[in-house]
């Protein structure tokens, strides 16, 4: 079944338990009691950013006393150190829009990682960073993506998606790329065989209509390209961000369950995987999300810094912790690779 904007908005207003039952039936039919996860490290290569999103407490402007940027050697050393202890299958590489970092940095970094740890998939950057590199290098989005892929980038996360409604984006991140640009860069990546994830950050200034629009736009692009591997929704976490002073309380866990259930229903037959998103709402809610349509628990997130205070609250430090949490929810943990394929 195809869902229009109005259909999705109506789903978002339905009884939560009815949504959950419907979404779980789809999930059960597709995946049984399996719940996938990945051994993943997050490499936040810099916290310098000139975009200045009001919801972000991580970034620092250039010249700030707490600003940092890893050299390629430092970045590779950090990844290899975590891999030696935990055994990695994926490194998620994201930072900020740092005017001092150009495409050559990423090409050197990706090639060094592939040379020293070819078993680790590179899940890197975001449409926002690709757009910046395009302007910096005076190149097309396709040319930037071709260079990054040639250097070793395997897949791309959906960072910067937030809500794909420009009125909302202007309210929370006026200097960030607009929704059409985000979608266009994702389409270019898909055309090049670079699979990506689709994301949504809810719980700030958006309406249910905006959320419906966001999901509709992602579904429409997926019909065209088939390049989204997974959909990941997460809650806006106020922390010490500028937006957090205006919206000091996050949405409840029930809201995540609603988003997960609606996503499973709307994206049935389109986007194969729905992630539980344990970082922002905690592992207990993520366990429930597995009963509301999610089939993937996510990753271990070693060294994640953007929401570091949230990660510190969760008892997930090792692969074994993820396995135990999935098992205690009544599901069978299945380790996967970067492309959501089960691994032994």
| Annotated domain spans of the chain | 5-335
Structural domain 5-335, CATH architecture: Alpha-Beta Barrel (3.20)
Q: List, in order, residues 6 or more apart from 231 with CB less than 8 Å away.
A: 197, 198, 199, 200, 218, 263, 267, 271, 273, 274, 275
Q: What is the pLDDT of residue 252?
A: 81
49 marked as binding residue: yes
Q: What is the pLDDT of residues 123-147, one digit of tens each?
A: 999 999 999 999 999 999 999 999 9
241 marked as binding residue: no
For 48, 68, 339, the CA distances from 65, given in Å and listed in that order, are 11, 9, 38
Beta bridge partners, 156, equal: 196
Sheet of strand 332-335: strand arrangement: 296-299, 34-38, 332-335
74 marked as binding residue: no
126 marked as binding residue: yes
Contact 31, 330 (CB under 8 A): no
pLDDT block averages, 10 residues each, the chain of length 344: 95 98 98 96 86 62 78 96 92 88 96 98 95 95 98 94 93 87 98 97 91 98 98 78 61 91 98 87 90 93 51 62 93 97 90
Q: What is the pLDDT of residues 219-234, one digit of tens each?
A: 999 999 999 999 999 8
For 126, 292, 301, the CA distances from 288, given in Å and listed in that order, are 29, 7, 20
| Chain centre to alpha carbon of residue 109 | 21
């Amino acid at each position: 079944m195809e869902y229009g904007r109005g259909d999705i908005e109506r789903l978002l207003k339905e009884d939560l338990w009815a949504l959950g039952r419907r979404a779980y039936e789809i999930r059960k039919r597709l995946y049984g009691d399996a719940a996938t996860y990945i051994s993943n490290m997050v490499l936040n290569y810099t916290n310098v950013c000139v975009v200045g999103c009001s919801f972000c407490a991580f970034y620092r402007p250039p010249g700030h006393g707490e600003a940092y940027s890893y050299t390629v050697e430092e970045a590779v050393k950090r990844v290899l150190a975590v891999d030696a202890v935990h055994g990695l299958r994926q490194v998620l590489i994201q930072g900020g829009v740092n005017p001092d970092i150009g495409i050559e940095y990423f090409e050197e970094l990706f090639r060094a990682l592939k040379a020293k740890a070819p078993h680790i998939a590179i899940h890197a950057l975001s449409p926002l960073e690709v757009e910046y590199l395009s302007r910096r290098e005076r190149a097309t989005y396709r040319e930037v993506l071709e260079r990054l892929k040639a250097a070793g980038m395997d897949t791309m996360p959906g960072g910067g998606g937030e809500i794909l409604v420009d009125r909302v984006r202007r309210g929370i991140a006026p200097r960030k790329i607009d929704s059409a640009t985000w979608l266009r860069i994702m389409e270019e990546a898909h055309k090049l065989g670079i699979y990506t994830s689709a994301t949504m950050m809810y719980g700030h200034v958006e309406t249910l209509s905006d959320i419906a629009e966001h999901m509709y736009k992602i579904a429409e692009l997926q019909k065209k390209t088939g390049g989204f591997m997974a959909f990941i929704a997460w809650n806006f976490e106020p922390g010490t961000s500028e937006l957090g002073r205006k919206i000091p309380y996050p949405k409840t866990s029930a809201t995540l369950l609603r988003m997960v259930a609606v996503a499973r229903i709307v994206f049935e037959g389109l986007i194969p995987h729905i992630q539980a998103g344990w970082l922002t709402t905690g592992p207990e809610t993520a366990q429930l999300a597995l009963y509301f349509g999610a089939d993937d628990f996510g990753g271990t997130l070693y060294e994640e810094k953007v929401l570091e205070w949230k990660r510190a609250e969760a008892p997930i430090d090792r692969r074994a912790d993820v396995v135990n949490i999935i098992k205690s929810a009544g599901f069978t943990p299945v380790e996967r690779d970067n492309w959501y394929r089960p691994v032994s």
